[in-house]
Amino acid sequence: MHRFQRLATRRQFLVSSTATLASVALGAPSAHALGTHVSHLRLPRTAAARRTTPGQWLPPTSSAEQFRALALVAMEAARGAGADFADIRMGVQRDFAAFGVGITVGYGVRACVNGTWSFQAGTTLTSDAVALAARTAVSDACTASVVNAKLHQPRGLDWAHTPVVSGEWRSPVDVDPFAVTLNDYIHVSRAAAEVGRRLGEGVETNCIIGWQIETRVFASTDGSLVTQEWTRGGALLSATAVLPNPDEQVEIVVPDVVRHSVGFEAALDPAIPERLTVAAEQAIRWRELRQSPFTDVGRYSVVLDGAAMAGVLGYTVSNALDGDRVADFEADASGRSFLTPVAEIVAATTPQFSPLLTMTSGRTAPSLTAVQWDDDGVVPDSYTLIERGRVIDYHTTRETAPHVAACYAAHTQPLRSHGRCLAPTPGSVPMSFGGDVRVNPGSERVSVDDLMRDMGRGFCVMGASVRASPGLTGGFIRSPLVVEVQQGKPVRRLRNVWFAFTIKSVASKALVALGDARTLGTATVTTQKGMPWQTMEYPMTAPAAFCKEVDVVRMDISA
């Protein structure tokens, strides 16, 4: 996957949900017969089939008890092989979206010997296979530790301590999305489409709907054993003001409804038609403006709506606070962080960013990232990353927390993991990520229109793809909807316009004002981490912002 992610669009939702979910697995309900698969189902032809539930389309899978038993076998094998420490994530992801179903099953064992780590992934769910995976991980860690000893390099930092944990946890859900019928899914989609039909005026309203339920077991040689069931999903709602030229029509995505830790009750929210209507009215409003090519490169004031600002800050500032980057574990991959050395950053007398910026992270429901224990077995906490422009904390795991020890020392806090360890699938390598990151909105009542009102000539960017430069100190913004503003009023829509931003232009001196809570928008921050790389995602929410001195550039140069 490419790093240049389009944010909160129908396309992205399809990629992140339907396509990966649209699969079929099979197998008898034994621990052996599970599959990962990809299948595109069409709407069932018969009324009887439509009265079935998604759960009936998903084949039986191993039970949580079976996963737990296998996880314990693996940990026993790791202990027997001489691991100083080992842990395992094992489970199954079951998906249903747009009449496609899927199951992904697997596990990953981590083992440590003399401070050196190894990871072994697997998919075969037998006692012999998981025990072999565990022994292989230990053996590899042992071999690598001998190499490290030969190099006479300092031993890796010991991981942050965490207590032994046990128990079970489920996402708080009112209506099980796999227990309602396909007809219920169809009704939600049709109700959304009906909003557009009722409005007329050449507007189409759409709903793409999907859920994932994952069972994941975590166990460690310390004695931790936890089981979690996460229910995640929702509806992507959008309104499109249609024009004969598809390149000119305007699509508005209803903000902040895409994928949460929620049940089917989210799709039954009575406010959905009203929110779709608001989006449709916005699409109609912007369609009224003529669209023209962009020619006037230069440096302008820019208003970023909430989703655009979230993308900009997520791909730069929040990623620069990622523990893997700060610890240089990503030095040969996604890169390092400009917010280092940690001791100097947290002791700086001058704030690194605008005093308007306060950024926090949490992992509580209904956030998509909500869990009781992360993939280190740590209970996640909520924390402030940036307070009035000053960096005070980082995203950490057990592995990366010791690398920001100076930060905890500066605040006279105990060294701890914030619980930001994530393996995107049970068989993926666990890495750090951001959790649910939020920027506080402005305290005064300020809308996007209010922010535009102060402009002489400038631009308003609504929704955006963001690409950060490798150093994360800047990047590019490309948006499907850019409006030119003159004397506080929108005058035309633009196409093929790019914005080159630096942290200075959007998060420091040139950040003039933030919108209020009504302007909050969410972007999905997608990063490829590791070698070989794997996709890590988290939601980022921010208010609209007024920034001055943003470079507006063209990318269609000629020979």
Q: Would you count residue 558 as binding another protein (CB under 8 A)?
A: yes
Question: What is the token pair recorded at 196?
Answer: 């557009």
Q: Site size for another protein, by CB under 8 A?
A: 88
Judge contact between 199 and 277, C-beta under 8 A: yes
Q: What's the rounded Cα separation, in Å, for the pair 340 and 407? A: 11
Rounded to a whole number of angstroms, the minimum distance from the CB of residue 268 to another protein is: 26
Q: Point out which span in 17-25, 367-375, 408-416, 436-444 binds another protein (CB under 8 A).
A: 17-25
Q: What's the rounded Cα separation, in Å, for the pair 105 and 55? A: 16
- Judged by beta carbon, residue 200 or residue 246, the one nearer another protein is 246
Q: Which of residues 41-70 bind another protein (CB under 8 A)?
A: 41-46, 49, 59
- Judged by beta carbon, residue 39 or residue 166, the one nearer another protein is 39
Q: Which of 278, 409, 415, 429 binds another protein (CB under 8 A)?
A: 429
Residue 65 has φ and ψ, to the nearest 5°, of: -65, -40
Q: Would you count residue 333 as binding another protein (CB under 8 A)?
A: yes
- Judged by beta carbon, residue 49 or residue 164, the one nearer another protein is 49
Q: Which of residues 121-160 bind another protein (CB under 8 A)?
A: 121-124, 136-137, 140-141, 143-148, 150-151, 153-154, 156
Q: What's the rounded Cα separation, in Å, for the pair 366 and 500? A: 34
Q: Would you count residue 384 as binding another protein (CB under 8 A)?
A: no
- Indicate the pairing of strand 474-478 with strand 498-502: antiparallel
Q: Which of 118, 361, 479, 519 binds another protein (CB under 8 A)?
A: 118
Judge contact between 310 and 522, C-beta under 8 A: yes
Q: Would you count residue 19 as binding another protein (CB under 8 A)?
A: no
Rounded to a whole number of angstroms, the minimum distance from the CB of residue 173 to another protein is: 27
In sequence order, the β-bridge partners of residue 96 are 101, 211
- Judged by beta carbon, residue 123 or residue 282, the one nearer another protein is 123
Q: Would you count residue 39 as binding another protein (CB under 8 A)?
A: yes
In sequence order, the β-bridge partners of residue 112 are 85, 117
Q: Would you count residue 243 as binding another protein (CB under 8 A)?
A: no
- Judged by beta carbon, residue 443 or residue 556, the one nearer another protein is 556
Q: Would you count residue 34 as binding another protein (CB under 8 A)?
A: yes
Sheet containing 436-439: order of strands:
390-391, 383-387, 359-362, 436-439, 534-542, 521-529
Name every residue whose Cβ is closer than 8 Å to that of residue 1 and which is 6 or more positions away in sequence. Answer: 15, 526, 528, 535
Rounded to a whole number of angstroms, the minimum distance from the CB of residue 159 to another protein is: 13
Q: Which of 13, 107, 119, 394 binds another protein (CB under 8 A)?
A: 119
Q: Point out which span in 218-226, 228-236, 462-470, 542-550 binds another protein (CB under 8 A).
A: 462-470
- Judged by beta carbon, residue 204 or residue 330, the one nearer another protein is 330
For residue 188, the one-letter residue type is: V
Q: What's the rounded Cα separation, in Å, for the pair 352 and 385? A: 12
Site mask for another protein (CB under 8 A), range 469-488, x = bound: xxxxxx-x------------
Q: What's the rounded Cα separation, in Å, for the pair 547 and 507? A: 8
Q: Would you count residue 532 as binding another protein (CB under 8 A)?
A: yes
Question: What is the token pair recorded at 464?
Answer: 């955006």
Quick one: which of 481, 329, 338 has its CA closest to 402?
329
Judge contact between 281 and 494, C-beta under 8 A: no
- Judged by beta carbon, residue 3 or residue 492, the one nearer another protein is 3
Q: What's the rounded Cα separation, in Å, for the pair 407 and 392? A: 7
Q: Point out which span in 201-209, 258-266, 324-332, 387-395 binds another protein (CB under 8 A).
A: 324-332
Q: Which of residues 82-111 bind another protein (CB under 8 A)?
A: 105
Taking CA atoms, 58 is separated from 19, 25, 126, in Å, by 16, 7, 21
Rounded to a whole number of angstroms, the minimum distance from the CB of residue 393 to another protein is: 20
